[in-house]
Amino acid sequence: MPEFGGPPVRVNPAIGPGRRLSRRILVRRYAFALTVLLLLGLGKVVIQQKEISVNQVAPSDHVVASGLVIGPAPTDTDLQELHLGLRVDGVVNLAGPSVAEGVTVASLHQAYLYLALPTAAAPTLAQLRDLAGFVRRYRERGAWVYMHDNDTGGARAVTAAAMLLLLNGQTWAAMSAAMRPAGLGSLDEQQRLALEQLSSALHPAGGRPSGNPYAAARLEPW
């Protein structure tokens, strides 16, 4: 204890807020906290926007698997929304050729694959291999492929998508479960037969049957 009348002694408390921080340090801390909050908020908005975009441009009953969505012939606006909202970088046309669609796809820097497929037909083995390679190329980049016919994700697109799932290694049961919302019931007898022939060729029991147009099929992961 200082003697009475002696010089004052400054005592720092053992507990408490302690020395006040400088203005520079406070500004830095507030700026850091604000940046973190802004980043968190931006991330939330981006995630929500991505979910909204995917739901708007690709209804769940048209999504076959991550990277592949089917549907009707798209308008120019549809193609733009698919490109921006779902990052569709590739378009497959199974219906008639469309000059306008080709021009729009080119303007969006999307790849375009046209495979002429009659209304009640199924893709050939050569066409399936082209499809699998096309989808794989863009799926590996984290992008999507949109495949369509002239119908509302009709029988040709459903058949091709189902065959791609089989070619990718899915069992018949798993493929049927994945494609049920997209309308396997819309397929005609010829298209159902093609699916059965492909499944039989990929999973032969007692040898590959003769006369199967998909007898040379092998798994093509995409």
Lowest mean pLDDT: which of 28-32, 131-135, 190-194, 214-218?
Answer: 28-32
What pTM value is reported for the model? 0.72
131-185 tens-digit pLDDT: 999 999 999 999 999 999 976 668 999 999 999 999 999 999 999 988 875 578 8
Please choose, from the candidates 122, 166, 133, 136, the residue with its C-alpha nearest in 3D space to the C-alpha of residue 66: 136
CA angle 134, 138, 141 (to 5 degrees): 155
Q: Is 188 a residue whose pLDDT tops 80?
A: yes
DSSP 3: P
DSSP 32: H
Q: Is 77 a residue whose pLDDT tops 90?
A: yes
Stretch 45-49: mean pLDDT, rounded?
A: 39
11-25 tens-digit pLDDT: 444 444 455 667 677
Segments of 140-205 assigned E as strands: 144-148
Please report the pLDDT score of residue 186 as a whole number: 86
Q: How far apart are CA 6 and CA 27, in angstroms?
A: 41
Question: DSSP readout, 57-123?
Answer: HS-GGGEEETTEEEES---HHHHHHHHHHS-EEEEEE-SS--HHHHHHHHHTT-EEEE----TT---
Please report the pLDDT score of residue 29 as a whole number: 66
Q: Tally Cβ neighbours within 10 Å of residue 66.
A: 9
Q: How far apart are the first and last CA of the chain?
A: 83
Q: How far apart are CA 47 and CA 65, in angstroms?
A: 20
Q: Is 27 a residue whose pLDDT tops 50?
A: yes
CATH of 59-202, one of 1.10.3300.10, 3.30.230.10, 3.90.190.10, 3.40.50.620: 3.90.190.10
